[in-house]
Amino acid sequence: VIALAAAGRAGDDVPAETLPPDIATRPGEDWPDFLGPRRNGTSAERGVSFDWPEKGPRIVWQAKLGTGYAAPSVARGRLYHFDRHGDEDRLVCREAETGKELWSIASPTGYDDMLGYNNGPRCSPVVDGNRVYTFSAEGRLRCVDATVGKPVWEVDTQKEFHVVRNFFGVGSTPLVWGDLLIVNIGGSPPGGPPDIYAARGNVQGNGTGVVAFDKRTGQVAWKASDELASYSSPIAAEIDGRPWCFVYARGGLVGL
């Protein structure tokens, strides 16, 4: 079950003409990314009352979901959630304030968790301007139009970068930074084993530990590191005026 959260604003760095119409009627900061707009679980909102009744806050609306571990994202009055129904992954857009479905887009999936956990997506949708990015459990990276749900581009990262399948599938939410979508890929040389069991734990990198894509086209902008992928999501920071990307990869922390 998913319950109503706050609605607000997102995509301030994108020209206004490219943004979806803002359908929010209440003030509040958007939550367009994993752990919020700063990826640290904090909101800049003030004046929120926590004087709740003993049974908790009143439920405004609720909706039945499929399987998965992905938290929803909220931008410009829309709530996006990514889950699995049968043999399909679905990205659904709803009115954040009412729960009314605006659109949904489904993609086939055959992911089967190696350790028997549920087979749904692990990564939160990421909203940036008029784009929503999803990263499925089997490594399909997709960009969808945030207003109408039309596909924009897709990359099968497992196939493209020869990723040796890890225990729990893909669980690292991509990071938007400027014109880039930065992804914890962890690829290996071609012709390698299909999964970590077949590799007997000996998995090699191929310089695609972290890959940056042009967020509008899906084209590769740069590749870095032989580190393998983890379940930790990249984060951006500015230190002494210099922009950094930090990725806590499988073998340790990488600073780029």
Question: In this structure, how many other beta carbons lie within 10 angstroms of the beta carbon of residue 184?
Answer: 29
pLDDT value at position 8?
Answer: 38
Check residue 73 and report its DSSP letter: E
Whether residue 122 contacts residue 186, with contact meaning beta carbons closer than 8 Å, is answered with no
> Would the pTM count as exceeding 0.85?
yes
Express as a percent the part of the chain with pLDDT over 70: 93
> Is beta strand 180-184 parallel, antiparallel or unpaired with respect to 210-214?
antiparallel
Cα→Cα distances 112→44, 97, 116, 134, 167, Å: 39, 34, 8, 18, 10
Q: How far is CA 241 from CA 48, 110, 222, 230, 238, in A?
A: 33, 45, 22, 28, 6
Distance (Å) of CA 75 to CA 53, 54, 101, 197, 227: 28, 30, 15, 40, 33
- Structure confidence at residue 13 (pLDDT): 53
Mapping DSSP to helix (H, G, I), strand (E, B) and coil, where does residue 53 land? Answer: coil
pLDDT band at residue 201 under the 50/70/90 scheme: confident
Residue 126 has what pLDDT?
Answer: 98
CA contacts within 13 A on the Cβ side of 208 = 18
Q: What is the mean pLDDT of the chain?
A: 92
Average pLDDT of 216-235? 97
pLDDT value at 91 more than 90? yes
Read off the pLDDT of residues 21-61 as tens digits, 9 standing for 90 and up: 999 998 889 999 999 999 999 999 998 888 999 999 999 99
User: Looking at the predicted structure, is the pLDDT value of residue 11 above 50?
Assistant: no
- What pLDDT is stored for residue 5 in this prediction? 43
Looking at the DSSP assignment, which residues form a beta bridge with residue 56? none
128-187 pLDDT tens trace: 999 999 999 999 999 999 999 999 999 999 999 999 999 899 999 999 999 999 999 999
Report pLDDT for 14: 45
Q: Do the beta carbons of residue 121 and residue 90 sit within 8 Å?
A: no
Contacting residues for 19 by C-beta, under 8 A, at least 6 apart: 11, 76, 129, 130
